[in-house]
Structure 1
């Protein structure tokens, strides 16, 4: 059986699918110093891919290239088997079509050396349903990125019912070595984590626009000039933890919990049981990592000031 390389030893990556997401992955891996082989069934994909990489390169240079990073490390494969023949990791980024994904992953599974992890960029499908036609499904995982993959660090990693744990752990370790911020999910969730959260905001935005309650500009400003400034450092849970003052999440839930049933949202709120309350409180204590409210407030404020200055600098340079 083909040995699985250590995550730190990977040098050659295959990117299957070279559209916006796949091309973004190519740019990211090149900037991290990998040898990248790309394949896409579209006959004109090469010039489009090279234009995407060239457009991304200045930002990648500013962020800092890894040793050996070079756009010349990109190889264009004529066939799918050629693209993965020597791959030590495979990232699939085909369109969101379940039948297409199932067929492509089965073909990748057959062509990729045994022991090599295959990751899918799917943004909605679960690996359980996508790996149904694979002979070696134990090495298939979801590695869900965010657009553009060469700038946004988050990757959500999760396996399917037939994925073995070693593959999930390996993929998470590899993405971290490759410069990504990784969430290793405990179980499959339709839409994963971040997509479900941003879709909740998106649905509310569509409701407000459809009902004439707010404009697109007002909605965007409500985030960029409001809670969005708090989120680069703290997500929604720790943000509400701070909203409780010195009492933290416990005070916030006890004081504002009844408002969860207020008719502010079109989404049905969960019942605020004692178990849910305790989980939220304990989760905030863990996420705080020993920092008290004063320390968290100081960290948040420094981050918000830095983000404000950065945004102002970008707007002033227009």
Structure 2
């Protein structure tokens, strides 16, 4: 694909789609000091976007606005072509309809200047199946956010078979520049990473309710007052790394690996091969870096206390 502009030279972003996700992106980019040009075919798009941005602004103000950030930097255009005019990046957030996505991305591609990366907020489709109608599919990537995009930092970035590696790399760098946490995926995986993890928990929860094994409230409490307190700190992998004590993940897998075959979930467990075991152990060691088990325990404990205090304060108002 043609050369793209440096991420720190972009001052205008186009957002296509004015729903909850699209509006969240608009609010995020405005708060980071960008000028945002938005388009949505709905006749009430401007009013809807104004309400979404106004609702998000207090939280964004509390987090800290970039110099020059202003809600007045939002322009809702009459046409798609006007929206992408002068934009250095395009974020598409249309409804999850494959035919719609295919046509819209082709339309965006047709009117967007060369060298501008176009990202889709899709949560369910791979870019390979969405980019089929575009003339220059090499600049199309997935930039999958989490609701609300102006508060949740994670974005999963992945290209399709026709996407240029340069576009994927640029999109990841741009998202980081605007304050996002980025996972750049090597391959397309249905549902991406975080959604697959959420879906596994969600399905098991539904099974438990359907079988009368737990109430909705019990399931929520099991997460909010249980492992959910640890996950913001170290995630499920490092959490089990600490469950192995001083022996870490290696001890955990070697001693508790057989429990994978226990009927604790309706999902089939993968075979714990030596290759899988070693990959998990090495991954934990790499993630931990120079932090010892004792360091990680101390970090976890401090963070859990802070999370409990913050959640308690929020609930008390």
Same fold, TM exceeding 0.5?
yes
Which residue of structure 1 aligns with residue 111 of structure 2?
A: 111
Structure 1: how far apart are the matches of 2:279 and 2:243? 17
Q: Which 4+ residue blocks in structure 1 deviate beyond 3 angstroms?
A: none
Match of 1:219 in 2: 219
Q: 1:31 to 1:277 in 2, by over 3 A?
A: same
Write the distance in 2 (CA, Å) between the matches of 1:130 and 1:174.
22
Is the 8 Å Cα contact of residues 158 and 184 (structure 1) preserved in structure 2? yes
Q: CA deviation at 1:20?
A: 0.2
The Cα of 1:109 is off from its aligned counterpart by 0.5
**CA distance in 1 between partners of 2:192 and 2:107 (Å):** 25
Q: How many angstroms apart in 2 are the aligned matches of 1:206 and 1:103?
A: 35
Counterpart of 1:199 in structure 2 is: 199
**Counterpart secondary structure, 1:278:** helix
Determine the structure 2 residue equivalent to 1:151. Answer: 151
Render the CA deviation track for 1:69-128: whole Å, top value 9, x for unaligned.
000000010001111121110000000000000000000000100110000000010000
Measured in 1, the distance between the counterparts of 2:71 and 2:253 equals 51
- In 2, Cα distance between equivalents of 1:207 and 1:59: 36
Residue 239 (structure 1) aligns with: 239
Give the whole-Å Cα distance in 2 for the aligned partners of 1:3 and 1:111. Answer: 17
3-state secondary structure, aligned to 1:246: helix
Q: Distance in 2 between matches of 1:28 and 1:241?
A: 35
Question: Which residue of structure 2 aligns with residue 251 of structure 1?
Answer: 251
Partner of 2:130: 130
Q: Give the corresponding residue for 2:264.
A: 264
CA distance in 2, matches of 1:4, 1:162: 17
User: Is contact 1:157–1:184 with CA below 8 Å preserved after alignment?
Assistant: yes
SS in structure 1 of the partner of residue 158 of structure 2: strand
Q: What RMSD, in angstroms, separates the aligned Cα atoms of the two structures? A: 0.9
SS at match of 2:91: strand
In structure 1, the partner of 2:288 is 288
d(CA) in 2 for partners of 1:185 and 1:9? 25
Deviations 1:232-291 (A, max 9, x none): 110100000000000000010011100000011110100000110000000000000111
SS of 1:247 mapped into structure 2:
helix
Unaligned runs of 5+ in 2: none
- How far apart in 2 are the matches of 1:165 and 1:208? 43
Alignment match, 2:15: 15
Contact 1:156 1:192 in 2 (8 A): yes
The size of the alignment, in residue pairs, is: 317
Separation of aligned partners in 2, 1:2 and 1:259 = 52
Q: 1:71-110 to 2 correspondence within 5 Å?
A: 71-110=71-110
* Superposed displacement of residue 2, structure 1: 6.8
Q: By how many angstroms is 1:3 displaced?
A: 4.9
State the secondary structure of the residue aligned to 2:192: coil
